[in-house]
Structure 1
Amino acid sequence: MIIFGTRGYLHQLAILTMVCGWCGNPAAHTLRKRVTKFTLFFIPLFPFSTKYATQCTFCGGERQIPKEEAEQLSAQARGGQDGRPYGAPQQQPGYTPPGGGNPYRS
């Protein structure tokens, strides 16, 4: 007897603040990747379906998105190439904040 089937895996890629298309509120949205894998004797072997979606944390509305848009949103959430989020303040090289950078020193 051979036991086979499928199993789904859900990965949260990022949390973004966007205006919801369902409720119209600016709210946090989770960017999710759902992978369905073929299993043999309860061992996942290979993925055969991958889908991406965003879900509003305010109303629960979910929207399927293509892979390219998911990659773009994920890169936007991670920030630029230097790892800083978009809009983060940039400091000049050699700059030391008041107090020497130690928040416990005045």
Structure 2
Amino acid sequence: MIIFGTKGYLYQLAILTLICGQCGNPSAHTLRKRVTKFTLFFVPLFPFSTKFATQCTFCGAERQVTKEQADQLMAQGTGQPSGQGYGPGNGQPYGQPQQGNPYQQ
């Protein structure tokens, strides 16, 4: 008898301040990596699926992003110069890093 299956792992990569594409609020977004691994006898052997997503902490909206977009967002979060993150499929800007206090005039 062989016992096999899958197990999911969720990693929080960064917390970024972006303007949400859903609600329009400047809020914290978590950048997450979800890895699904094949298991044999309850031992995880190798990953067969890796997905990246951001989630708005204000409204809860979640958007899938590519690995390249996740890398760009990580670089923005660490202050390294990089391009802008883009939403999946539409080529439109997903969010901009928030600079300073947006409510200060």
Q: TM above 0.5, one fold?
A: yes
* Structure-1 residue corresponding to 2:9: 9
Structure 2: tracts of 5 or more residues without a match? 82-98, 100-105
The number of residue pairs the alignment matches comes to: 82
Under a length normalisation based on structure 1, what TM-score does the superposition of the two structures give? Answer: 0.74
Name the amino acid aligned to 1:61. Answer: A
Q: Which runs of 4+ in 1 moved over 6 A?
A: none
How far off is 1:14 after superposition? 0.3
* Structure-1 residue corresponding to 2:55: 55
Structure 1: tracts of 5 or more residues without a match? 82-86, 88-106
* Bigger-Rg structure (1/2): 1
2:20 matches 1:20 = yes
RMSD: 1.4
Percent same amino acid among aligned pairs?
77
The higher-RCO structure (CA 8 Å, 6+ apart) is 2
Under a length normalisation based on structure 2, what TM-score does the superposition of the two structures give? Answer: 0.74
Distance, in Å, in 1 between the alignment partners of 2:39 and 2:78 is: 32
* Structure-2 residue corresponding to 1:46: 46
Distance, in Å, in 1 between the alignment partners of 2:26 and 2:80 is: 23
Name the amino acid aligned to 2:42. Answer: F
Name the amino acid aligned to 1:56. Answer: C
* Structure-2 residue corresponding to 1:97: none
* Structure-1 residue corresponding to 2:77: 77
